[in-house]
């Protein structure tokens, strides 16, 4: 079996056991979006999290908002349909851009880890990530960036 066949079969296996859509996100690449920039923040859509694979539908557990107005990207985790957590992907130790791994944000520089709400769970970082208020209105998710300035 080739590597390509293995990956294809592994993803098909995930799809076959996915009834709730929770496992489908493990087989999908990271979703990057720029969002709609407004005066006080950025709006993204609930549908930005939706994943379609054939007849199955699921949700990305997170997406990354990256655009020219932000010095660092923002990671938005989908906690539930009405609850989202938005955190700045700047390590509070020495400012390295973080990487997302499942429900965690990790720093490649010195190993700090943060949960999806930005709470530091492993040092050397000594403070939590900057997080942003999120308001959900219908299909729209507004990330309030006024704290950033």
Task: Provide the binding-site residues for ligand FES, judged by CB under 6 A.
Answer: 91, 93-94, 96, 107, 109-112, 124-125
How near is the Cβ of 36 to ligand FES at its closest, in Å? 30
Residue 104: CB minimum distance to ligand FES, A: 13
Task: Tell the smallest beta-carbon distance from residue 98 to ligand FES (Å).
Answer: 7
Distance of CA 24 to the CA centre of its chain: 15
Contacts of 134 (CB under 8 A, 6+ apart): 76, 84, 85, 86, 141, 142, 143, 144
| Beta carbon nearer to ligand FES, 36 or 110 | 110
Nearer to ligand FES, 44 or 74 (CB): 74
- Gyration radius from the chain CA atoms: 16
Distance CA 130, CA 6 (A): 40
Q: From the CB of residue 107, how many other CB atoms can be counted at a distance below 10 Å? A: 23
Q: How far is the CB of 123 from ligand FES (least distance, A)?
A: 8
63 or 107: whose CB is closer to ligand FES?
A: 107
Between 43 and 106, whose beta carbon lies closer to ligand FES? 106
Q: Answer yes or no: are the C-beta atoms of 116 and 85 closer than 8 Å.
A: yes
Tokens of 45: 């859509």
């Amino acid at each position: 079996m080739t590597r390509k066949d293995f990956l294809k079969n592994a993803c098909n296996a995930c799809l076959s056991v996915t009834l709730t859509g929770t496992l489908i996100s493990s087989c999908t690449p990271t979703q990057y979006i720029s969002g709609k920039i407004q005066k006080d923040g950025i709006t993204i859509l609930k549908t930005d999290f939706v994943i379609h694979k054939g007849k199955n539908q699921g949700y990305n557990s997170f997406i990354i908002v990256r655009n020219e107005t932000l010095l660092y990207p923002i990671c938005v985790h989908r906690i539930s349909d009405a609850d989202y957590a938005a955190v700045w992907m700047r390590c509070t130790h020495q400012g390295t851009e973080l990487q997302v791994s499942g429900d965690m944000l990790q720093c490649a520089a010195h190993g700090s880890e943060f949960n999806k709400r930005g709470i530091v769970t492993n040092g050397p970082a000594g403070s939590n990530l900057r997080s942003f208020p999120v308001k959900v209105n219908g299909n729209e998710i507004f990330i309030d960036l006024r704290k950033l300035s």
